[in-house]
């Protein structure tokens, strides 16, 4: 697959995702004409692009879908569940066809045959006629209630270098209605300078079609930067049926000149012949005006490389800081400060470029809820709020599968069958909500349902049966609920006898923890369950505070630090309860030396950091506070994963390694104690 085919595939994937989203919207509002038009236009663009770049299977298959929705928008076919199901299945097949494999697998072939049969059940044959001669391409497809257009299409000579065949575009356009096309070869160079790979032809098209001007522009969507295109609306009357227009065509049949529609207007001079005919005399000048490019598509690998280089720059900057502080050279200090500001701005810019809104996943989530709910015979409404919230691209990729897993559990084990819900006095249609919001330097994603909730007795019995809990002590509601997150709670037999969930959530918990996230579960019997995923904004670079404990360096994220205190050790008071009063507030505390099992450190003055997590606070005692530090956080290797209070590591300017503290876990442990 060459670069241009890859570019088309990327853009086609966006079109397919957009198409899937539109179909789900149409499912909720089956008579929405604007959605139907947009679906048709998207299919039209996908068909044309596929033909241009050698994805012929995509083009041919999408053409059949386009024919269905042409009937829908004409009011000849109603939108039904069966039609939407077939179209969504077709979208799944188009995703396979976009891989452009030499041959489909046997399963894919069977799927193709099955879906093709369903499509054919919705459409009938179409008849059209095409005539070609040396000067014109004439095509006629019966169209009523259309618009006449004049179109000038002048491809740049190098257009075919990217695999584009401009004839595909002309052919696609003229088959949408009644059209006359005139080809020009005025730019043909002398034979010795002729490049067989270049295009020296331009086309003029006069067409009567149902297409809007925007839909015509969509035909040229993938070549608008490689061509000069002019489209003029000539009015609602089919000027191709005018006798005077036909005579005019005959008079210029042997001419190499461009259409002179201004002269034609004077010749017609009859409102019965044409309702409105306008043409800009300076159309050539307008066509030569280049479109301004306001955005570009960037390969995600290039973004990853950019982030890696910025990370290396941050590490190098830290080394320069150490050298500058050691030398105390005023000029060097000034240069270093300036470079540090530039590095920080570059870091922020690279970070913002890599952000993606959670709503990019909405279509996948809605499709899952729709399809799985239908398979299980459940009626489910899916609501989203705050999905414009943005996260680092790598986090979005890592959190997608866990969210899908949670949604499956909501659908399969949380939402009851309609009859059961009605007996409980609930609406027959269940509700699943997904919301997202910023909380400081974290993002909270909450997935909730109004289903059966978690049956504590059943979960506890299952945990005891699986030797996850001995049953020798009384557990709180929160502790029982969290048993479903333990490895081994899942069994080969699905937990269908539990009115809740729990299948495979240990895997979800592990994946969230691997990206320095956290998971919380709340549930009420017969009211539902909510699962909150708490995530960092980015996995790569953080602003941190460098601390020392037993001559080892650690990083604490600046955003979680509330205050720093230098206290006399006598202010600790009763060290047995591990509670200290700071600013009239009781705060639990712990010494990092105790957490990491270092020898006690006797000193009269202690350094204490007060850190926060949601509405909770805790204090941690450290040996020394060394100052602020930009840290490039790297994940721990497989041998060191699962550490209770460590979320990653970073390389300092002197080449030593500092561990990044997971203060959220420290706070949760101290709060529980």
Q: How far apart are alpha carbons 400 and 577 in whole angstroms?
A: 42
Measured between alpha carbons, how far is residue 162 from residues 53, 100, 199, 222 in Å?
8, 17, 12, 11
Tell me whether residue 326 is exposed, middle or buried, using C-beta atoms within 10 angstroms of its C-beta: 0 to 12, 13 to 18, 19 or more. exposed
| pLDDT interval class at 91 (50, 70, 90) | very high
pLDDT at 604: 84
For residue 158, report the phi and psi dihedrals to the nearest 5 degrees.
-85, 10
Q: Strand locations in 106-249, DSSP E?
A: 129-132, 136-140, 147-155, 177-184, 202-209, 227-235
Ranges 275-284, 314-323, 345-354, 631-640: which has the least confidence: 275-284
| pLDDT interval class at 261 (50, 70, 90) | low
Q: How far apart are alpha carbons 3 and 106 in whole angstroms?
A: 29
Q: How far apart are alpha carbons 561 and 663 in whole angstroms?
A: 9
pLDDT of 135 over the 50 cut? no
Give 353-379 as a 3 state SS string.
HCEEEHHHHHHHHHHHHHHHHHHCCCC
| pLDDT interval class at 126 (50, 70, 90) | very low
pLDDT at 19: 92
Q: Is 3-120 CATH 1.20.120.160?
A: yes
pLDDT of 67 over the 60 cut? yes
pLDDT of 64 over the 50 cut? yes
For residue 246, the surrounding DSSP H or E stretch is helix 243-251
β-bridge partners, 567: 606
pLDDT at 668: 83
For residue 316, report the phi and psi dihedrals to the nearest 5 degrees.
-65, -40
pLDDT at 530: 95
Residue pLDDT, tens place only, 643-655: 778 888 888 888 8
Which region, left, alpha or beta, applies to residue 661 given φ > 0 means left and ψ of -120 to 50 means alpha? beta
**Rg of the Cα atoms in the chain:** 33
* Residues 414 and 528 sit within 8 Å (Cβ to Cβ): yes
| 295: nearest Cα among 612, 568, 11, 667 | 11
Residue 265, helix vs strand vs coil: helix
Identify the DSSP state of 292.
Answer: P
Structure tokens at 138: 């004439």
Residue pLDDT, tens place only, 200-220: 888 888 888 988 898 888 888
Tell me whether residue 59 is exposed, middle or buried, using C-beta atoms within 10 angstroms of its C-beta: 0 to 12, 13 to 18, 19 or more. buried
pLDDT at 464: 82
| pLDDT interval class at 246 (50, 70, 90) | low
Sign of the alpha-carbon dihedral angle for 250, 252, 255, 260: negative
> What is the rounded average pLDDT of the residues 141-167?
81
pLDDT at 294: 57
β-bridge partners, 552: 549
pTM of the model: 0.68
Q: How far apart are alpha carbons 324 and 335 in whole angstroms?
A: 10
For residue 510, report the phi and psi dihedrals to the nearest 5 degrees.
-65, -45
| 512: nearest Cα among 593, 585, 445 | 445
pLDDT at 302: 85
Sign of the alpha-carbon dihedral angle for 559, 561, 562, 563: negative
pLDDT of 127 over the 50 cut? no
Q: How far apart are alpha carbons 297 and 293 in whole angstroms?
A: 11
Sign of the alpha-carbon dihedral angle for 519, 520, 525, 526: negative
Q: How far apart are alpha carbons 375 and 252 in whole angstroms?
A: 63
| 659: nearest Cα among 566, 594, 596 | 596
As separate numbers, helices (DSSP H) first and strands (DSSP E) second, the chain gives 20, 23
- For residues 636 and 367, the model is more confident at 367
| pLDDT interval class at 624 (50, 70, 90) | very high
Superfamily covering domain 541-672: CheA-289, Domain 4 (2.40.50.180)
| 26: nearest Cα among 360, 470, 284, 366 | 366
pLDDT of 406 over the 80 cut? yes
Q: Which residue has the tokens 């005959």?
A: 250
For residue 169, report the phi and psi dihedrals to the nearest 5 degrees.
-65, -45
> What is the rounded average pLDDT of the residues 429-436?
96
Q: Strand locations in 156-266, DSSP E?
A: 177-184, 202-209, 227-235
CATH code, residues 356-536: 3.30.565.10
pLDDT of 460 over the 60 cut? yes
Residue pLDDT, tens place only, 262-309: 555 554 444 444 444 334 334 444 444 444 555 677 777 888 888 889
| pLDDT interval class at 3 (50, 70, 90) | low
| pLDDT interval class at 370 (50, 70, 90) | very high
pLDDT of 420 over the 90 cut? yes
Residue pLDDT, tens place only, 564-574: 999 888 887 66
- Helices 505-514, 393-409: crossing angle, 10 deg rounding: 170
Task: List the chain domain ranges.
Answer: 3-120, 129-287, 356-536, 541-672
Strands 579-582 and 147-155: unpaired
β-bridge partners, 150: 206, 232
Strands 442-449 and 129-132: unpaired
> What is the rounded average pLDDT of the residues 493-514?
63
| 611: nearest Cα among 630, 625, 597, 600 | 625
> Whole-number mean pLDDT of the chain?
81
| pLDDT interval class at 404 (50, 70, 90) | very high
Helices (H), 385-504: 393-409, 418-423, 456-465, 477-482
pLDDT of 670 over the 90 cut? no
Q: How far apart are alpha carbons 146 and 177 in whole angstroms?
A: 9
| pLDDT interval class at 252 (50, 70, 90) | low
Ranges 312-321, 480-489, 552-561: which has the least confidence: 480-489
Q: How far apart are alpha carbons 449 and 381 in whole angstroms?
A: 10
Helices (H), 559-621: 592-595
pLDDT at 202: 87
């Amino acid at each position: 697959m060459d670069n241009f085919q890859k570019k088309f595939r990327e853009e086609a994937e966006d079109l397919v995702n957009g198409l899937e989203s539109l179909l789900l919207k149409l499912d909720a509002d089956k008579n929405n004409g604007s959605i139907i038009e947009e679906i048709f236009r998207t299919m039209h663009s996908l068909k044309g692009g596929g033909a241009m770049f050698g994805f012929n299977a995509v083009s041919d298959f999408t053409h059949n879908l386009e024919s269905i929705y042409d009937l829908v928008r004409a009011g000849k076919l109603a939108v039904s569940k069966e039609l939407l199901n077939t179209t969504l299945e077709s979208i799944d097949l188009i995703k396979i066809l976009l891989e452009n494999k030499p041959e489909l697998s046997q399963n894919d072939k069977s799927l193709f045959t099955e879906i093709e049969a369903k499509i054919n059940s919705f459409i009938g044959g179409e008849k059209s006629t095409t005539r070609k001669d040396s000067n014109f391409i004439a095509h006629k497809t019966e169209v009523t209630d259309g618009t006449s257009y004049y179109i000038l299409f002048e491809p740049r000579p190098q257009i075919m270098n990217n695999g584009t065949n401009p004839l595909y575009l002309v052919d696609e356009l003229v088959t949408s209605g009644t059209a006359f096309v005139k080809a020009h070869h005025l730019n043909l160079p002398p034979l010795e300078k002729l490049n067989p790979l270049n295009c020296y032809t331009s086309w003029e098209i006069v067409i009567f079609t149902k297409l809007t001007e925007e839909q015509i522009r969509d035909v040229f969507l993938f070549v608008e930067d490689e061509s000069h295109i002019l489209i003029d609306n000539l009015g609602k009357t089919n000027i191709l049926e005018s006798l005077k227009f036909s005579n005019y065509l005959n008079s210029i049949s042997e001419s190499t000149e461009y259409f002179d529609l201004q002269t034609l207007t004077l010749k017609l001079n009859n409102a019965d012949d044409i309702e409105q005919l306008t043409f800009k005399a300076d159309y050539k000048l307008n066509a030569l005006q280049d479109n301004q490019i306001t955005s570009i598509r960037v390969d995600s690998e290039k973004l990853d490389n950019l982030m890696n280089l910025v990370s290396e720059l941050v590490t190098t900057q830290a080394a320069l800081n150490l050298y500058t502080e050691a030398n105390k050279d005023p000029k060097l200090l000034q240069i270093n400060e300036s470079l540090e500001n530039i590095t920080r701005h570059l870091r922020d810019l690279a970070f913002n470029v890599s952000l993606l809104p959670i709503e990019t996943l909405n279509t996948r989530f809605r499709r899952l809820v729709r399809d799985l709910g239908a398979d299980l015979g459940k009626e489910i409404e899916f609501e989203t709020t705050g999905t414009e919230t943005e996260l680092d691209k790598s986090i979005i990729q890592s959190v997608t599968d866990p969210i899908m897993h949670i949604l499956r559990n909501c659908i399969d084990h949380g939402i009851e069958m309609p009859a059961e819900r009605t007996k409980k006095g609930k609406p027959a249609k269940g509700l699943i909500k997904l919301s997202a919001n910023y909380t400081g330097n974290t993002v909270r994603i909450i997935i909730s349902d109004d289903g059966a909730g978690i049956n504590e007795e059943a979960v506890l019995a299952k945990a005891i049966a699986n030797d996850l809990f001995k049953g020798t002590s009384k557990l709180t509601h929160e502790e029982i609920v969290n048993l479903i997150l333990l490895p081994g709670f899942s069994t080969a037999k699905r937990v269908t006898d539990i009115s809740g969930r729990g299948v495979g959530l240990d895997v979800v918990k592990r994946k969230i923890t691997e990206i320095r996230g956290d998971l919380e579960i709340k549930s009420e019997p017969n009211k539902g369950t909510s699962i909150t995923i708490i995530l960092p904004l980015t996995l790569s670079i953080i602003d941190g505070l460098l601390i020392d404990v037993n001559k080892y360096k650690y990083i604490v994220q600046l955003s979680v630090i509330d205050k720093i205190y230098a206290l006399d050790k006598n202010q600790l008071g009763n060290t047995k309860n591990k509670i200290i009063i700071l600013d009239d507030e009781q705060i639990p505390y712990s010494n990092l030396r105790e957490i990491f099992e270092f020898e006690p450190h006797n000193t009269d003055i202690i350094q204490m950091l007060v850190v926060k997590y949601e509405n909770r606070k805790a204090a941690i005692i450290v040996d020394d506070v060394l100052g602020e530090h930009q840290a490039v956080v790297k994940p721990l290797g497989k041998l060191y994963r699962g550490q209770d209070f460590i979320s990653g590591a970073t390389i300092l300017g002197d080449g030593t390694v500092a561990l990044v503290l997971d203060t959220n876990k420290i706070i949760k442990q101290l709060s529980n104690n």
